[in-house]
Structure 1
Amino acid sequence: MDQLDRRIIAALQHNARDSTTRIAAMLGVARTTVHERINRMEERGVIAGYSVVLRETEDTPKVQIIVLLEVQQKETTRIIKRLETYPEVKLCLSINGEFDLLLSAEAPRIEDLDILVDELARVPGVLRTNTSVVFGRKIDRN
């Protein structure tokens, strides 16, 4: 990846629905260049996909939990693929120490997260979980 690829990615991260014509005009390059570079980055797996970011309103309360998972190492890839299917899971980090994965999950109700944690514990290869409820964000740079 070079500087132009990084600038294209930045433009897509800002608005993945922008046309290649508009991105090309912003970057001062030909539309075909942007189109070919995006295709190449998709083929190489640099761009793994596109997503929709929903607007959260002030009146949409969210409960957040942190879940630590101890997993069988040989099952880690399969477990992560399974975690991707839960829309409540917002973040999954591979960590060292007593546990292997750290999850951040959100839902409108604590009951929804209770169900999620029960389901996570039943995933084959998950040895144990440890869950904490987040009371508040003291520093949030996201």
Structure 2
Amino acid sequence: MRDFKDDLDRKLVALLQDNARMATAEIARKLKVARSTVQERIARLEKDGVISGYTVLLSRAPDVESVQALVMLAVEQQQVRETIKRLETFPEIRTCLTVSGEFDLFLRVEAPRLDDLDEVLDDIAAIPGVRRSRSSIVLAAKFDRKRAN
């Protein structure tokens, strides 16, 4: 899937996923390689499409809490596209993935409070074509690597 030359590429990408603004000198120090090696690797990874871009991630104010759920949906096959279009209208849905197996869609949903999340989950379940859903509340994020689409 990815064109990693070796373990150094993997470690380099992991550092950039954690902090894309990390200075090449700091990356070189952490990886124990020359700064020019880091620059060459980054240039090659960008050229090869492994690194497709950099982005800004907005953080919430420290005093703002939210609750997240991971939601699996079983959807009538002839209504998957329409269901996805409807799901796109929910600002609380941060991620929508198609998956194989018992369920068809996997969602990451975020709301300010538990009662707001409950309302969103009820609205999702009411979408025509949604046959069944299963939700799990996220207790804690141990790490979260952001990826380009």
Q: How much has 1:30 moved relative to structure 2?
A: 3.1
Distance in 1 (alpha carbons) for counterparts of 2:122 and 2:37: 46
CA pair 23-87 structure 1, distance change in 2 beyond 3 A:
farther
8 Å contact from structure 1 (residues 67, 102) kept in 2:
yes
Distance in 2 (alpha carbons) for counterparts of 1:117 and 1:92: 19
CA pair 112-88 structure 1, distance change in 2 beyond 3 A:
same
Distance in 2 (alpha carbons) for counterparts of 1:29 and 1:106: 40
Please state whether the residue corresponding to 1:29 is helix, strand or coil.
Answer: coil
8 Å contact from structure 1 (residues 65, 133) kept in 2:
yes
Q: What are the ranges of 5 or more consecutive residues in structure 2 without an aligned counterpart?
A: 144-149
What number of residue pairs does the alignment pair up? 131
Please state whether the residue corresponding to 1:54 is helix, strand or coil.
Answer: coil
Distance in 1 (alpha carbons) for counterparts of 2:46 and 2:122: 34
Distance in 1 (alpha carbons) for counterparts of 2:125 and 2:45: 33
Distance in 1 (alpha carbons) for counterparts of 2:92 and 2:53: 16
Letter in 2 for 1:102: F
Distance in 1 (alpha carbons) for counterparts of 2:68 and 2:32: 43
CA pair 54-68 structure 1, distance change in 2 beyond 3 A:
same
Structure 1 segment 1-142 matched on structure 2, within 5 A: 1=4, 2-51=6-55, 52=57, 54=59, 57=62, 59-71=63-75, 72=77, 79=84, 86=91, 88-89=93-94, 92=97, 94-97=99-102, 99-109=103-113, 110-111=115-116, 114=119, 118=123, 127-128=129-130, 130=133, 132=135, 134=137, 137=139, 141-142=142-143
Please, what TM-score do these two structures have when normalized by structure 1?
0.59
Q: What are the ranges of 5 or more consecutive residues in structure 1 without an aligned counterpart?
A: none
Q: How much has 1:121 moved relative to structure 2?
A: 7.2
8 Å contact from structure 1 (residues 67, 131) kept in 2:
yes
Distance in 1 (alpha carbons) for counterparts of 2:58 and 2:40: 26
Q: How much has 1:50 moved relative to structure 2?
A: 3.5
Aligned Cα root-mean-square deviation (Å): 4.1
| Identity value in percent | 39
